Structure 1
Amino acid sequence: MELPEFKVEAWLNKWEKSAQYDISQSSIAALTLEELMTLAGTTSEEFFGHLAQTPLDYGWIEGSPEFKQAVSQLYQNVAPDNVLQMNGATGGNFLALLALVEPGDEIVSMRPSYQQLYDFPKSLGAEVKFIELQEENAWEFEVSKLAQVITSKTKVITLNNANNPTGTYLNRQQLEEVVALAKKVDAYVLVDEVYQPLEATDYCPVVDLYDKGISINSLSKTYSLPGLRIGWSASSREIADLFRKYRDYTTICGGVINDALAVLALQCKDKILARNRQIMAQNMATVQEWLETQPRVSLVGGQGVSTSFIKIEMIQSDTEFCRQLLQEKGVLLVPGSAFDKPGYARLGYCCQPEVLKEGLKRLGGFLAGK
């Protein structure tokens, strides 16, 4: 198997720790342990004191019963036993694709998107077809184009909903149309749902629409806990049983402490989401105000999602632009080339408000040659 460089991860691995103002990340500002405990109505002393005598063994291999129950309640049609704990959404995507894709299969994906969803199946020997998202169409996924490329050979449709990096999403009606097309050819629909919009009332997880729909999610983005590395797959029993076989080869467990913290977070999820809605609204207002002063920058895309894709008029390549910005101003963006869309940059605007304000100020100064 030959895998191409994972461009987003390679960029962040190289540069993120040297940034003074990291406005590249797609998570909503990470919670501290203390903040999580406060939202949950407990203290670190009480929580960890309760765990002090817990053996640090493998724990529950697929996630504790409490974890599986809490995750199942996020969906309408998922039994707790059909929830499998994963090493983040990346681990869930990896395992699902490994279990489903064989050489010669046909995959339909979207672009720009999370590179894993199309380059990993390609490395497994699949042919990948793309639905290209276009700025002039507000980065919307056009189901009519899917109807043109899907065939009887299509094995899996892989989607990122909401989309990283554009922040746009398929609403329930659009996803129902995707499912209807998938049913005609008996294809799976694998959806990375880590960027589930915070404000949308017309959003629906794919697992609630289709028995061959697979919802992958984690606590990393919407729930502000990327450091826990806890994600999951939610699916039908038949698919969960298939995944179990492959999971034994790739994942043992998420860890006793991380599982307990994940359960705590899911128990106070409403408070976490309320906190994150406030951060998102405040920061988007900051971005919109800043954009009004920037003739060389524009933003098209959805709101209520923690990632955005800005277009920048640049003299040099986007990669060189972002490198110079970091070196001269200490500000980190992800170049659009990491998503096969040069001329753009991922702006992770849901960082801490003071980081965003200073990062945008410095970005504006860099664009003005100051």
Structure 2
Amino acid sequence: MEIAAFGVEEWLNDWENQAVYDIAGSSIDSLTVTEVLALGGRSQEEFLRELLQKKLNYGWIEGSPTFKEEVAKLYQRVATSQILQTNGATGANHLALYALIEKGDHVISLYPSYQQLYDIPKSLGAEVSLWQIHEEEGWLPSLDELRSMIRPNTKMICINNANNPTGAVMERPFLEELVSIAQEVGAYILSDEVYKPLDSRYDVPAIVDLYEKGISVNSMSKTYSVAGVRVGWIVANDDLSNLFRKYRDYTMICAGMVDDALASYVLQNKDAVLARNQAIVAENLQLVRDWVEEEPRVSLVYPSAVPVSFIKLDIPEEIESFCLRLLQEKGVLLVPGNRFDRPGYARLGYCTQASTLKTGLALLSDFLRQYD
């Protein structure tokens, strides 16, 4: 089986640890275990006392009852039987594609988006059509273009909502029309929903709540700021969930007992976590707005209260060369846009600590002055 190198992960694996000012990431400033426990008002001693009593067996294969109950609260009409714990959202995406996509299938994938959503289907022998996003439309794709791409044998439409790298969000009316198009041919919709807009003005329902053949994927990594627990989940109708159970036995068995305990605790205290992260997004996005207004070589379609953004750079240099020199000379890390097939752009992950963001943006501006 042939598969393309994962462009973004390859870049981050090579350069992330060399960054002094990492403004490339896609998570909201990660919590420490101490901070997690403080948000819930629980003492470290109490949590550790319970944790120390856990026997390190396989535990709950599909995720603990507590975990499943907390995940179910995130949806409108989902039972715990429909929820399977996975190794992050990457494990959930892989599980859905592995279980459903076969050689000769037709798959439509939002592009660019998370690379799993188009290159895994290709590696499985599917014909993949790329549903392009458009900067002039706020980085959303065209539903009319989707209609022209859909076929009687289209097996699946893959989206990530909000979009990585742009932060653009498909809201309810858009999603409802997307569902009506998929229904015409009975296509599944796989929706990677790890970027929840942290602003109540956005109405972004989960695809599993809109469509019988919708498959929702999420994780603890982005919105909940605990990527290190490596816990995600997949939610679908009961028939699909039973199918995923079969394939899941071949791919993961279970998550770790400690990871499940931490993930469950964060979800039990999600209101405190989300309030903390809403404040980070609001403050840091304003810092970015102020910086863009003063920086003549940068423009930006602002993200929808999610932690990724995609800046456009007015520079006479190939973008990956620019980003590598920026790292080597200033210690500032971005993800070059060619890793998303968009030269001239870069992913700016602005939800790091405010001090890191301020210094990173100032150094980036200083670096851009070489072209004035």
Partner of 1:202: 203
Partner of 2:190: 190
Partner of 2:116: 116
Query: What do residues 240-296 of structure 1 show as CA deviations (whole Å, max 9, x unaligned)?
Result: 000000000001111101101111000000110000010011001111111122111
Letter in 1 for 2:29: A
Q: Does 1:289 align with 2:290?
A: yes
Partner of 1:178: 178
Shift of 1:51: 1.4
Shift of 1:315: 1.7
Q: Does 1:70 align with 2:70?
A: yes
Shift of 1:49: 1.1
SS in 1 for 2:262: helix
| Residues 198, 281 of structure 2: 8 Å contact kept | no
Unaligned 5+ segments in structure 2 are: none
Partner of 2:164: 164
Moved more, 199-208 or 228-237: 199-208
Partner of 2:330: 329
Partner of 2:58: 58
Partner of 1:268: 269
Moved over 4 A (4+): none
Letter in 1 for 2:217: I
Moved more, 129-138 or 183-192: 129-138
2:245 & 2:135 partners in 1: Cα distance? 39
Give the % identical residues.
55
Partner of 1:134: 134
Letter in 2 for 1:368: R
Partner of 1:107: 107
- After TM superposition, the score normalised by the length of structure 2 is 0.98
Letter in 2 for 1:328: E
2:97 & 2:66 partners in 1: Cα distance? 27
Partner of 2:19: 19
1:15 & 1:331 partners in 2: Cα distance? 10
Partner of 1:45: 45
1:217 & 1:43 partners in 2: Cα distance? 28
Query: What do residues 26-50 of structure 1 show as CA deviations (whole Å, max 9, x unaligned)?
Result: 1000011111001011122210111
- After TM superposition, the score normalised by the length of structure 1 is 0.99
SS in 2 for 1:190: strand
Shift of 1:301: 3.6
1:201 & 1:163 partners in 2: Cα distance? 14
Partner of 1:277: 278
| Residues 141, 170 of structure 1: 8 Å contact kept | no
Partner of 1:342: 343
For the structure 1 residues 300 and 201, does the alpha-carbon distance in structure 2 shift closer, same or farther, using more than 3 Å as the test? closer
Partner of 1:255: 256
Letter in 2 for 1:296: R
Query: What do residues 115-172 of structure 1 show as CA deviations (whole Å, max 9, x unaligned)?
Result: 1100110110001111111112211122121111101010000001000000001101
SS in 1 for 2:114: coil
1:302 & 1:360 partners in 2: Cα distance? 17
1:162 & 1:243 partners in 2: Cα distance? 24
